[in-house]
Amino acid sequence: MKSLKKIVFNPLMQLICAMALCSCYYANLAPDTIRFFLTISVCLRETLVFVLPFLLFSFIAVALSAIPREGMLFVLGLMAVVFISNFMNIMISGIVGFCVLSGNQSKEMIESSINFLPFFELNLPIIASTSHALLAGVFVGFFNSFYPNKTVTFVIKILHSWVMVFMKKFFVPLLPIFVSGFLLKLFAEGRMTGFVTENSTIYLKIFGFLFCYLLLWLSVAASFKRDRIIEILQNALPAIMTAFSTMSSAAALPMSLEAAEKNTKDKVLADAVMPLTLNFHMVGDTIIVPILAMLVLLAFNHPLPTISQFILFGIFFVLSKFAGGGVPSGTIMVTVPVLKQYFGFDDSMTAFIIALYGVIDPIATSGNVAANNFFVVIFQKIRKAIKKMSFLKTKSEISH
């Protein structure tokens, strides 16, 4: 009974069921029924857009405020490496995406003369833009870390808890309904015909590239030594499998900590690095989401982004990584306003990429966990190299 309950309430299963029901029964629904579900989806989308600035601000402010002043240098160094890594991954993903998709290999959505509209919209105000919310969170978080203030800490924690309640108790449970309204619109307008089956080879290329990229990370962590590669992978495998089955990096954290300790032989380093990178360093997401976004652009007859658009998208996508932790499908949720601002995503495109991401979330999450297990070993190598350089420099100065 418990196992059946887990399956029924699993977000992935709910999303797959919603997509299957939409594809099977949309033709049997009256136009007003489709408009009814579309209206619900539009209202949920507007509510999400209204709440997202608070989510971005509070998550980043809380995370940065929690950094102790004594460990600030270590944490800042780690965050700088994570930021560079995430941004590099996005740029590499962009290059691969352009190579794979620039030849118009993707199946486009069929144009339709039918256009379903919601009965009404909420027209909620936009409190702040994505970039302003992100930068404000960074500023408040760092300032509160250097000069702790009880009132500021209390306010951002309360705001953070309210946002978490909204996301976990309200929006995430309604995610299948949110996606269903927009999918019914696409199916009823005849724009979904053949899309998934025609693009199956592109999905395989994306996953194949992610596998090869992670294999490169593993090889670097092991200094390209076969026995060391096997050792690191064996230690990390339980965490990777847990992440795949639960779609949660947090659920895999105990196994990741154990694996990191075995792979580095340094419990202090493992305990410091692994929890900090848990929700921020997301190699699986930074490889998959940009290519997926470009695929959706082409599917909806939009051109691929320019280089400047993609770089700006990459910068704010990386910043949004500091705000997606702890929420199922949180990565794609906080990326929505970035996609809207820099790639011109509309409501249908937003719902579509959320649905696609929901299905591939296990692969993305297991990729995140795998990369973080390899990253802690690489970070240890970087620290040792820096310490060695500092020691040699000091020794040279003393000799002179």
Res. 2 pLDDT band, cuts 50 70 90: low
Task: Please give the C-alpha separations between residue 117 and each of 34, 45, 174, 326, in angstroms, as whole numbers.
Answer: 9, 14, 20, 34
How far is it, in rounded angstroms, from Cα 88 to Cα 66? Answer: 26
pLDDT of residue 158: 94
Mean pLDDT of the chain: 82
Helix residue ranges per DSSP H, the chain: 2-8, 11-25, 31-65, 72-101, 130-146, 150-165, 175-188, 195-198, 200-221, 226-246, 253-264, 267-277, 283-299, 307-320, 330-343, 347-399
DSSP code of 147?
Answer: S
Share of the chain above pLDDT 70, in %: 83
Res. 368 pLDDT band, cuts 50 70 90: very high
User: What are the residue ranges spanned by the domains of the chain?
Assistant: 2-109+126-399
Write phi, then psi, for 268 (nearest 5 degrees): -60, -45
Question: Over the stretch 144-174, which tens digit does the pLDDT of each residue have?
Answer: 888 889 999 999 999 988 988 888 788 878 8
Contacts for 54 with CB less than 8 Å, ≥ 6 apart: 127, 133, 159, 162, 163
Question: Over the stretch 207-252, which tens digit does the pLDDT of each residue have?
Answer: 999 999 999 999 999 999 999 999 999 999 998 988 886 677 776 8
Question: Over the stretch 280-291, which tens digit does the pLDDT of each residue have?
Answer: 788 999 999 999
Task: Give yes or no for residue 89 having a pLDDT over 90.
Answer: yes
Listed in order, strand segments (DSSP E) in 54-140 are none
**Which tokens hold the place of 167?**
């996301």
pLDDT of residue 347: 78
Topology of the domain comprising 2-109+126-399: Proton glutamate symport protein (1.10.3860)
Q: What is the pTM of this model?
A: 0.75
How far is it, in rounded angstroms, from Cα 127 to Cα 159? Answer: 15
